[in-house]
Amino acid sequence: MTTTARTGTGPSVLCVLDRAYRGAVEAQFFHALYGLLDLHGQFERMDVALRGAAVTLAVEEDTYRPSVRLGTMVLDTLPDYRGSVRDLVAEGFEVLVDRDAVRALGFAPERLVAGTTCLAPAELAVRWPRYDQVWFV
């Protein structure tokens, strides 16, 4: 893992992710969370809110293996979403997770990646003014 150099010339941004799982085989490492990890150093601050089914990106589990066999090739470079969420936390992002979606999907908040923050939907929205911009990625 590398840590992106922070130049901080860009505005503070809250990135809301409400669609996940956009192309495992073709994306591999190049998924939405990678983009945030790769670019956040350019911004004064960048945080992430996971909503809807995207909250599952932050749910810990131990079954998924990011690998698929295609022909004679074992493609073991599929996205590791939980690992990326851990990286976000490690690199100073605040990772906000929609509590209603977590509950509706039957998960206990205790299953979320350590360091993430589980919030009611209204609490997510009232945080918007803390940021210069809000992006739905």
Partner 1 sequence: MNAGTARPGGTASYFLIESKGNWAGPDAGAFLLDGAALAEAGHRVRVFLVEDGVFSAVGTGTPGIERLAAAGAEILVDDFSAAQRALGGPDLSPHARLAGMDVAAAALTEEGCRGVWH
Partner 2 sequence: MAGGMERRVWDLLLILTAAPHSGDVVTSALRLSQAVLDKGGSVRVWACGYATMMTQDTFGDTKPPNTRDPGGHYPSPSAIVRRMIADGRGRFGWIACTACTEERGATHHIPQVRHRSPLRLATTVVGARQTLYLGGA
Residues interacting with partner 1, by CB under 8 A? 21, 24, 52-53, 56, 59-61, 63-65, 68, 81-82, 104-107, 111
Token pair of 81 as six digits: 């979403």
Give CA–CA dist 65/81, Å, rounded: 11
Q: Measured from the CB atom, is 60 or 132 closer to partner 1? A: 60
37 binds partner 2 (CB under 8 A): yes
The DSSP string of 64-85 is --S-EEETTEEE-----HHHHH
Kindly tell me which residue out of 11, 60, 67, 68 binds partner 2, with binding defined by CB under 8 A.
68
Q: Which stretch binds partner 2 (CB under 8 A): 20-28, 57-65, 104-112, 114-122?
A: 20-28
The answer to whether residue 69 forms part of the interface with partner 2 (CB under 8 A) is: yes
**Which x/- pattern, by CB under 8 A, does the window 85-114 give for partner 2?**
--x---------------------------
Query: Could you tell me which of 64, 128, 133 has the C-alpha nearest to residue 96?
Result: 128
Contact predicate 79/29, CB 8 Å = yes
Name the residue with tokens 């004679």: 72
Burial of 52: CB neighbours in 10 Å, binned 0-12, 13-18, 19+: middle
**117 contributes a contact to partner 2 by CB under 8 A:** no
| Contacting positions for partner 2 (CB under 8 A) | 1-2, 4, 21-30, 34, 37-38, 68-73, 75, 77-78, 87
